[in-house]
Amino acid sequence: MTLPDGVFTEESATPVVRSVALSHLSIELGHLYMDDFEAGPAHLLDQFRRVAPWATAARDIAAAELPTGSTPRVSTCFLIDDYFTRFSTPDKVVAMLSATAAEAGLEIDYIARESGCALADGVELARVVENHLVSEPPEGADGSRPPVSVTGWLTNGQRSPGQSGSAMAAPRQWQPPRQSAVQNHSIFLDIELWNEKAGTRLWSCPFLAAVWQLQRLGLIRHLGEPVAQPEPMPLDELPADWDQLPPVIQLNPGAAPFRAYRTFSVLGARFLPIEVAVRTILGQVAVTAAVDEQIRGRAKGERIILPDEFVDRIRYAFM
């Protein structure tokens, strides 16, 4: 993983990187999509009840990993899909989520909109991350495959060569795909980051989830400033229009910071392939040295040693 200067900032300027408040751990209590909402409160309550023991375990592990005498700062968050589908209204959805989580013994500190991973505060976050993908051509690449910036597809290795050729040419011998940095056997992935129709780009779920993880780890800046700072919003002030809801809202006034040194996500098993793709994408994102050094320095000041690779600061439980 390379950490070049200038990533997540404008190339024409070198602004001062502003720090963000950090918890020790950010626990993601789940995602909400239209099918989950349509399944009703009983379905969501069942999910939260299965999530609760994992959230408790994550808190305990975070406390055990801190120096003796330290009190863990832990916040919780929940992501709502308003990007691929719009359903109900935020005042109803957020109120239902908060009440159902409380019934299961959980408190949601922060609610985030998935569309806020594409565009937030006038900044195209997904474009920012896209511009700093540093995929390396696999060994033996002949340049026949266009770069990810053209295709919208990212891979972790070398695809099987195409079978097409001239009519008179001998058939090309099949070769298997091969993973870069392979260990014994390849696990090859080819991930769609976006598609475009009539000039409109639709970002993929894995790519937006990659942006989401970078946000939770406090690794995104624009002109040196953090984007989508959580905005306090009591339940009785929630709007009835998704576009009027800030990208990230803070429901719990006393919550620990939204961003954290480490993240932990409790998700259904259906999200496993998406998160495999997320980790592959993040493995090819260059994080600005100034931002990462700032976070690592603050962690060291708390006697916390973070993994060099920021992907290793992300943990999961799949139910």
pLDDT at residue 163, as a whole number: 52
Q: Which one of 68-72, 104-108, 131-135 scores highest in mean pLDDT?
A: 104-108
Q: Alpha helix (H) ranges present in the chain?
A: 34-38, 41-65, 90-103, 125-130, 148-151, 205-216, 272-282, 289-301
pLDDT above 80 (res 159): no
Instruction: Compute φ and ψ for 81, nearest 5 degrees.
Output: -80, 105
- Average pLDDT of every residue of the chain: 88
pLDDT above 80 (res 304): yes
pLDDT digits (tens, 9 = 90+) for 285-297: 999 899 999 999 9
Alpha-carbon span 313 to 273, nearest angstrom:
19
pLDDT digits (tens, 9 = 90+) for 65-81: 999 989 999 999 999 99
Q: What domain count does the chain have?
A: 1
Mean pLDDT, residues 296-314 taken together: 95
Among 64-73, 91-100, 130-139, 186-195, the minimum mean pLDDT is found in 130-139
In a domain? residue 194:
no
How far is Cα of residue 222 from the mean position of the Cα atoms in its chain? 17
Is the model more confident about 163 or about 296?
A: 296
Residue 147 to residues 44, 74, 136, 144, Cα–Cα distance (Å): 41, 40, 10, 9
In a domain? residue 184:
no
Q: List all residues 6 or more positions away from 131 whose beta carbon is below 8 Å from its beta carbon.
A: none
Provide the domain limits for residue 91: 23-131+199-318
In a domain? residue 52:
yes
pLDDT above 70 (res 229): yes
pLDDT above 50 (res 10): no
Is the model more confident about 174 or about 29?
A: 29
In a domain? residue 260:
yes
Residue 1 to residues 80, 230, 261, Cα–Cα distance (Å): 31, 29, 18
Mean pLDDT, residues 100-113 taken together: 97
Helix axes 272-282, 205-216, angle to 10 degrees: 60
pLDDT at residue 11, as a whole number: 47
In a domain? residue 231:
yes
The full length of the chain comes to 319
Buried b / exposed e over 144-177, threshold 16 CB at 10 Å, is ebeebeeebbbbbbbbeeeeeeeeeeeeeeeeeb
Alpha-carbon span 233 to 72, nearest angstrom:
25
Region of 11 (left: φ > 0; alpha: ψ -120 to 50; beta: rest) is alpha
Alpha-carbon span 305 to 80, nearest angstrom:
32
pLDDT at residue 199, as a whole number: 83
